[in-house]
Amino acid sequence: MRHLIDSTDLSVKETQEILNLALDIIENRTMYSHVCAGKKLATLFYEPSTRTRLSFTAAMMELGGNVLGFSDASTSSVSKGETVADTVRVVSAFADIIAMRHYKEGGPFVASQYSRIPVINAGDGGNAHPTQTLTDLLSIRRELGHLDNLTIGLCGDLKYGRTVHSLIKAMNRYEGVKFVLIAPAELRLPDHIKNLAPTKCVETATLEEALPTLDVLYMTRVQQERFANKDDYERLKDSFVLDARKMQLAKEKMIVLHPLPRVKEISPDVDSDSRAAYFRQVENGKFVRMALIYTLLHKTTETREHSESLSVTEEPCTNRRCITATEPVERLSYEDHDGKRRCAYCNHVLANS
C-alpha cells in the first residue's frame, strides 16, 4: 500500500508516470470513465477548502467511483474528541482511499500510520501540499513543455505557504532549476526547505527585479489563518502585487501560476494576459488527481519511503501547530542537512538539537 504525504514520496520517475497518465486521461477521457467503478474515496477535510475538495470529488466521479466524507470537522466525531488515528481506522472500513486535509502539521502523516487504505495529504497546516505540486508540475509541463532548466520565482508567503514548500522540494530534483524567492522578511522560506537547495535559491527584494529573469512566476496568498497576530497579517498582506504594468517586464513566454484562492496579490487586469495560467492550472488539478487516485488504488506492494531516515525520540516538539501537540502519537525525528534534529511531522527544529 502506498501513501502520498510529501511531494518527494514519489520519485522523479513515478512523478513522471503520474503526469504522463494525466496527459493520457486528458486525451482519452471516456477510456477512464469507469476504471474506479465500485471504489470509494473518503474526503476528510478538517480545514475549510473548496477547490481541493471539489477537485478530488470531481476526479473520483470522472473515474466512475464514489465519494463520501466530511468537509467540516465540527460536524464529525472529531468534535467529540476522536483522534486522527481512530478516525482513519474507522474510515478504512468504509472506503478504499482517503484524501485528508488537516489544520495541524503532520495530521495526514499520522493518518498514514494507522490507515489500512492509501492516504493522500490534501494539505497539512503550513507544512505540505503534494497534490497541488502535481497540479503545478502538470501545468508547467503543459504550458512550457519541460520541467528542467527553469528559473522559478516564488512570491508572497513563503513561510506558511505549504504549496511553495512542496513545489520547491519536488522541482529541486530537476536539472538546471533555480528559485528566486520574493517575500517580506517575516515570511521568508523556512530553513529546512532552503537547506535542500542552498545554491539554487536567490532572494530578491522586488518583483520588478525578478520578473525579467523568470520562466515561471508562482504567486501566493498571505496565509491569514496561520497568523497568531492579526496586525501582522494586515501589515504584510499586500506586500507584493502583480499587475499588468509589471507583466511588461516579464519574458514573452513566462507563465504565472497561483494555487488559488487569490486575494489581492494578482490584480484582475492580469487575467486577460495569455501568460496568466492560473485558471488553466485548476483544471490540471482534477486530471492529475484522477491519475494519482488511479495509481494509488492499483499499487499494492510498495511502501512509502520517507526521504529522511526517521528515529524515535523522547523529545517533544514545541510547535503548537504540530499534530503532536494535540494527539498521542509516537515522537519521530530526523537529522537535517544542517545537522539539526527536526520533528518528522512538522519539520520544526527540536529544542535540544
Is position 163 an interface residue for ligand NCD (rule: CB under 6 A)?
A: yes
Catalytic site residue 52? yes
Catalytic site residue 129? yes
Is position 259 an interface residue for ligand NCD (rule: CB under 6 A)?
A: yes
Kindly state the cell numbers that stand for 34: 469507469
Hey, what amino acid is at 273? Answer: D
Indicate left, alpha or beta for 69 from its phi (over 0: left) and psi (-120 to 50: alpha).
Answer: left
* φ, ψ of residue 127 in degrees (nearest 5): -90, -70
| Between 143 and 313, CB nearer to ligand NCD | 143
| Residue 240 CB, nearest approach to ligand NCD (Å) | 14
| Residue 122 CB, nearest approach to ligand NCD (Å) | 8
| Residue 132 CB, nearest approach to ligand NCD (Å) | 5
Binding residues for ligand NCD, total number by CB under 6 A: 10
DSSP 76-103: SGGGGT--HHHHHHHHTTT-SEEEEEES
| Between 121 and 313, CB nearer to ligand NCD | 121
**Cβ neighbours of 329 (radius 10 Å):** 20
Residue 164 DSSP SS3: helix
* φ, ψ of residue 46 in degrees (nearest 5): -85, -5
Is position 162 an interface residue for ligand NCD (rule: CB under 6 A)?
A: yes
The CA distance from 314 to 295, in Å, is 37
| Between 32 and 46, CB nearer to ligand NCD | 46
* φ, ψ of residue 108 in degrees (nearest 5): -65, -30
Q: Give the x-and-dash track for 95-124 against ligand NCD (CB under 6 A).
A: ----------------------------x-
Is position 59 an interface residue for ligand NCD (rule: CB under 6 A)?
A: no
Question: Judged by CB under 6 A, which of 7, 8, 43, 52 binds ligand NCD?
Answer: 52
* φ, ψ of residue 270 in degrees (nearest 5): -85, -20
Q: Tell me whether strands 201-203 and 216-219 are parallel, antiparallel or unpaired.
A: unpaired
Is position 153 an interface residue for ligand NCD (rule: CB under 6 A)?
A: no
Question: Judged by CB under 6 A, which of 43, 87, 127, 132 binds ligand NCD?
Answer: 132
| Residue 352 CB, nearest approach to ligand NCD (Å) | 31
Is position 65 an interface residue for ligand NCD (rule: CB under 6 A)?
A: no
Is position 139 an interface residue for ligand NCD (rule: CB under 6 A)?
A: no
| Residue 262 CB, nearest approach to ligand NCD (Å) | 8
| Residue 261 CB, nearest approach to ligand NCD (Å) | 6
Catalytic site residue 51? yes
Whether the CB-CB separation of 344 and 105 falls below 8 Å is answered with no
Using the Cα atoms of residue 55, residue 56, residue 60 and residue 61 in order, give the sign of their dihedral.
negative
Kindly state the cell numbers that stand for 62: 470522472
236 HSE (CA, 13 A, CB side): 25
Whether the CB-CB separation of 350 and 342 falls below 8 Å is answered with yes
| Between 39 and 237, CB nearer to ligand NCD | 237
**Percent helix, strand, coil in the chain (nearest 5)?**
40, 15, 45
Is position 127 an interface residue for ligand NCD (rule: CB under 6 A)?
A: no
Residue of 30, 75, 80, 301 marked catalytic: 80
Is position 221 an interface residue for ligand NCD (rule: CB under 6 A)?
A: yes
Q: What angle do CA 119, 120, 123 make, to 5 degrees?
A: 130
Is position 260 an interface residue for ligand NCD (rule: CB under 6 A)?
A: yes
| Residue 221 CB, nearest approach to ligand NCD (Å) | 4
The CA distance from 202 to 179, in Å, is 6
| Between 51 and 275, CB nearer to ligand NCD | 51
- In what order do the strands lie in the sheet containing 255-257? 201-203, 178-182, 151-155, 216-219, 255-257
Is position 51 an interface residue for ligand NCD (rule: CB under 6 A)?
A: yes
Residue of 2, 129, 237, 348 marked catalytic: 129
Active site residues: 51-52, 80, 101, 129
Which residues make up the interface to ligand NCD (CB under 6 A)? Answer: 51-52, 123, 129, 132, 162-163, 221, 259-260
